[in-house]
Structure formats: C-alpha cells, structure tokens
Amino acid sequence: MRDSGFTRQERSFITLMRIWAAAFLVAAVIFATLPDVLLNYLNDIGRVFAGWQSPKAVGGGQFWLVLACSLLVSLSYACLVAQAKPLRNTGYANIVILAKFVSAAGFTAMLFVDSMQFYYLVGAVVDGLIFIITWRFYARAAGSRS
C-alpha cells in the first residue's frame, strides 16, 4: 500500500474495513442463497465434533433472511465508507461495533433461551470476535494521531 500520510494503525484499520466489507457481502450472498443448508451444516459440525445434539434448522425464515441480508449489505457499506476516508469517516466503524455487539449478545441469549443450537454458539463466537477486533482496530486508529 502506498504511503498516503496514514499512521500504521490507520492503515491496519483500512485493511480490516476492506476485509469486513468483502466478508459481509459474501455472507449476505451465502445467507440469501443457502440459508438452511448453512445452518444445517453448522449443526452437523457441532454434532460430529462435539456431540452436540441439535435439531435440524427450521426453514421458512425468509422474512428474517431479508433483514439479515440487508444488515450485512449495510455493514459492508459502512466498512467501505470508513476505509475510503478514515480520517473523516472512522466513526462508521461504530455501526459495525454496535451491530456485532448486539448480535453476539443476541446469539448468546438465544443459545440459552431458545434452544442449544450449535449455530447460535458459532454466531456468538464469530460476531463477538468481529466486535472485539473492530473495536480494537478502531480504538488504535483513533488514538494514533494524539
């Protein structure tokens, strides 16, 4: 990457936002095209490797699927805006941080309240990691100029 006056932390933040933008778009496509296949596959992983007995994913959640895909596209857009002009738009990462905190907390709650579905555990871990990683990169980039 050419030097454009950004600190090392800001360049790392830009790279992370680009990775998240691509990952969120890929996830939106996967969820839109193979939602039940993905959830059943995750449950099968839990059953095979951890002995986690989860019922098969219930289909018919297309209403929530539309909302999930729109959120993923919105998060991807926020990441693209944040990385394009990080000195001015770093705050767009707050959208990702908030969304991933809420979804990690929601997956954790669903794990214990709804049923012990392995995909709830995977969702809590993945979104929790995205929350922590994004928050750390954001904090480091924001503090790199002070």
Segment 68-126, tens digit of pLDDT: 889 999 999 999 999 998 888 888 999 999 999 999 999 999 888 877 778 888 999 99
- pLDDT-based confidence at 1, cuts 50/70/90? very low
Helix axes 93-113, 62-84, angle to 10 degrees: 150
Alpha helical stretches, state H, 34-61 = 35-50
Q: What pLDDT, on the 0 to 100 scale, is given for residue 34? A: 81
Q: What is the pTM of this model?
A: 0.84
pLDDT tops 70 at residue 2: no
**49-65 pLDDT, tens digit each:** 877 776 666 555 566 77
| pLDDT of residue 25 exceeding 60 | yes
Q: Which residues are within 8 A (CB) of 15 and not within 5 positions of it... i.e. 6 or more apart?
A: 1, 83
Residue 101 carries which side chain, given as an amino acid letter? F
User: Six-digit token pair at 5?
Assistant: 């006056």
